[in-house]
Structure 1
Amino acid sequence: MLRRTLLATAAATAMIGTAAFAQDDPVKVGFIYVGPIGDGGYTYEHNQGRLQVEEHFGDAVETVYVESVPEGPDAERVMTQMALEGADLIFATSFGFMDPTVNVAAQFPDVMFEHATGYKQADNLSIYSARFYEGRVSQGHIAGHLTESNIIGYVASFPIPEVIRGINAAYIHAKEVNPDVEFKIIWAYTWFDPAKEAEAASVLIEQGADVILQHTDSTAPHAAAQAAGDVYTFGQASDMAEFKPAPRVSSIIDDWGPYYIERTQAVIDGTWESSSVWQGIGDGMVVIGEITDAVPADVKASAEELNARLASGEYHAFTGPLNKQDGTPWLAEGETADDETLLGMDFYVEGITAELPQ
């Protein structure tokens, strides 16, 4: 039940279907979602991408989707049925769909598959993801400035590289502006469970956290923060704008629409190739939501400057000197992390005192 780590090193490997679709033959595009489209977060944004495909192509494309699909055998069943019903292109949008997608792709070599955040490719299977950790840079920077208790809470989903990268990126940049900051982390072991997410946020607030970050998909941590009062939060995967201007003071927004449109167009044109994509703020796949006036003007300005440097490539989220949690040297002064290390990240950086689950 995992999601979203991605190898960014694989090159395009194969051409699938050299003939373009006939003009009167609509392309059928399927989407498999791990959560409900109304989750207000990760699945919501994937579905917004699907709607952009419909708007862009009109009658030339038919889209179908199935929401709240458990990661595992159910995903394989759903994708098989989708392929049997004529889907030409299928987007599987959660890490735990990886092996089911590989299995179904092997059974339907004439169907194109795209898996979000995985690392297994095939001639008819591409992988794609966003550099979510770049958004955590901004969140950590703001959180480090805002906290008065010096305790930042983090509601985490699963201990996979994607989530660990985010925790580390946020901590590094919170610590940079506030040397006294401490991270408390609760693993919810779910992507979407409002009750568990709210409970985790409430426990963190009881432990003294006055800023809550999350790598889960519902707005429940925001509601818990709002009920507690004087606690700040950040939108995850979508803007979660209903909680602006506070407790939600900024957000990471996943913008999948342009990628979905591009890949659908490739199927229509007969130019689709298996590829590996890992895009960030500079590419527009990761968007930083509005920083509200609940954030002091100077902090807002410095966060926006940091985002611009990330977008331009002038600054890398993981720049040394940095050590691993046990004090082992990792990055020397000015050295930046390579993608291979980031994609397999299984350690906390120095200063995080929590134990990383195995």
Structure 2
Amino acid sequence: MLRRTLLGAAATTLALSTGAFAQDEPTKVGFVYVGPVGDGGWTYEHEQGRLAVEEAFGDQVETVFQESVPEGADAERVMTQMALSGADLIFTTSFGYMDPTINVAQKFPDVKFEHATGYKTADNVANYSARFYEGRMVQGHIAGKMTETNKIGYIASFPIPEVIRGINASFLAAKAVNPDVEFNVVWAFTWFDPAKESDAARALIEQGADVILQHTDSTAPQAAAADAGDVITFGQASDMSEYAPMPRVSSIIDNWGPYYVERVGQVMEGTWEPHSIWYGIDEGMVKIGEISDAVPEEVKAEALAMRDAIAAGELHPFTGPINRQDGTEWLAEGETADDGTLLGMDFYVEGLTGDIPN
């Protein structure tokens, strides 16, 4: 696995931005987004990464983007157009773009592609993702400590391993500090649909949930919780701090900028190679947003200690004993999950109710 420190990336950026590397034409970099840049969540943070590239390299780069591109044939069309327009590097930023990315890359072997959250690579295709489940462990701890009804609602997007890992990680952390906690998972089957997300949040609140977690990208669940009162939420992908200190009490922040700057710099240097990386809190790709004053100081201290222990490699969100939902053993006492199992996770852990949709 290729890994460079942020210090190394910064050195590369400095050298390029001060003219140590000369080029005739600006490097053209494309970004394909599944939602609008103003979603306040997932796409917003990728857009911040694009802007970081522009800030780092100035007129040595030209960036373009297309927002709200559906996963499927439309994505393939957009990627093809970017390649035809002279893009040197294209970032495709949603799981459902995986096969379209591979298909288009085969047609444009001289263009480099980077796909977010998938698992396929090729000679000109890299993939990258973040260990979001690490942040969801921290959220689960806070949720388990703060719920008064012992009912936590979770708005899930699609039944893919990334989302299932997050549900399991947050549930295990909440259950560890509150054995009476119950999770109610609602599958929205969308990444971004404020109306659906709001409806899901309201339904969960009506069923008694006083904590709402989400793996969807809009701030609609935050607004629904604010209307309900006495319900806490957590920002997804971005800080969503406009809803702090209540209902949003903390957040998971996806920090893409350093990675995008590094990879664009490698294209400019001629050192880019395909790889698969999966970074987390340690590498700075996953951050925990400010924990608001609505969280008791003791709980805040515990959450921050958990974050630091994960970063130091002293704590793993999936450490046994853990059983699968059907009661069969998954991890023995002290055993930690391997990445292969996590990347393909298609099961709930013991204590979660309901089925994972096909």
3-state SS of paired residue (2:127): strand
SS for the counterpart of 1:29 is strand
> Does 2:343 align with 1:343?
yes
- Residue 47 of structure 1 aligns with an amino acid whose one-letter code is E
Tell me whether 1:247 sits opposite 2:235 in the alignment.
no
**Match in the other structure for 2:166:** 166
| Equivalent residue number for residue 323 of structure 1 | 323
State the shift of 1:356 in Å.
1.5
The two structures have a TM-score, normalised by structure 2, of 0.94
1:273-288 matched pairs, under 5 angstroms: 273-288=273-288
Q: CA deviation at 1:25?
A: 1.5
Instruction: After TM superposition, give the deviation of residue 282 of structure 1 in Å.
Output: 0.4
Say if 1:21 and 1:27, in contact at 8 Å, map to a contact too: no
Query: Does 1 or 2 have the higher relative contact order (CA < 8 Å, sep 6+)?
Result: 1
Q: Is the 8 A contact 1:24 1:60 kept in 2?
A: no
Partner of 2:123: 123
* Percent of residue pairs bearing the same amino acid type: 73
* Residue deviations 1:154-178 (CA, integer Å, cap 9, x gap): 0000011000000000000000000
Give the number of aligned pairs: 342
> Which whole-Å CA distance do the structure 2 matches of 1:185 and 1:66 have between them?
31
Question: Cα offset for 1:239?
Answer: 0.0
In 1: Cα distance, 2:354 partner to 2:153 partner: 11
Q: Which residue of 2 aligns with 1:17?
A: none
- Equivalence map 1:54-133=2 (5 Å): 54-133=54-133
1:294-333 alignment to 2 at 5 Å? 294-333=294-333
Asked whether 1:289 is paired with 2:282, we answer no
Q: Does 1:37 align with 2:40?
A: no
For residues 69-99 of structure 1, what are the alpha-carbon distances to aligned partners after superposition, in whole Å with 9 as ceiling and x for unaligned? 0000000100100000000000000010011
Q: Partner of 1:71: helix, strand, or coil?
A: coil
Which amino acid is 2:175 matched to? K
- Measure, in 2, the Cα distance between the counterparts of 1:58 and 1:174: 45
Q: How far apart are 1:23 and its partner, in Å? A: 2.0
**Residues 1:10 and 1:322: Cα distance change in structure 2 (over 3 Å):** farther
Per the alignment, do residues 10 and 348 of structure 1 end up closer, same or farther by CA in structure 2, a change over 3 Å counting?
farther
- Secondary structure of the residue aligned to 1:317 is coil
Deviation at 1:22, TM superposition (A): 4.8
**Code of the aligned partner of 1:289:** G
Amino acid at match of 1:241: S
Counterparts in 2 of 1:1-40, with a 5 A limit? 22-40=22-40
2:6 paired residue number: none
Alignment match, 1:233: 233
SS in 2 for 1:186: strand
Q: CA deviation at 1:209?
A: 0.1
- Measured in 2, the distance between the counterparts of 1:328 and 1:345 equals 15
Moved over 4 A (4+): none
2:191 maps to 191
Mean Cα displacement is larger for which, 199-208 or 347-356? 347-356
**Which ranges in structure 2 are unaligned for 5 or more consecutive residues?**
4-19
Once residues 109 and 347 of structure 1 are traced to their aligned partners in structure 2, the CA distance between those partners, rounded to angstroms, is 37
- SS of the equivalent of 1:110 reads coil
Specify the SS of the correspondent of 2:122.
Answer: coil
1:33 touches 1:43 (CA, 8 Å); kept in 2?
Answer: yes
Looking at structure 2, the residues matched to 10 and 74 of structure 1 have their Cα atoms a distance apart, in angstroms, of 31
Deviation by residue 1:240-276 (Cα, 9 ceiling, x = unmatched): 0100001000000000000000000000000000011
Structure 1 residue runs of 5 or longer lacking an equivalent are: 1-8, 12-19
Question: For residues 352 and 315 of structure 2, what CA distance do their matches in structure 1 show?
Answer: 23
1:24, CA displacement in angstroms?
3.0
What residue identity is the alignment partner of 2:109?
Answer: P
Secondary structure in 1 aligned to 2:267? Answer: helix
Root mean square deviation of aligned Cα = 1.2
**By how many angstroms is 1:10 displaced?**
9.5
Q: Give the TM-score normalised by the residue count of structure 1.
A: 0.94
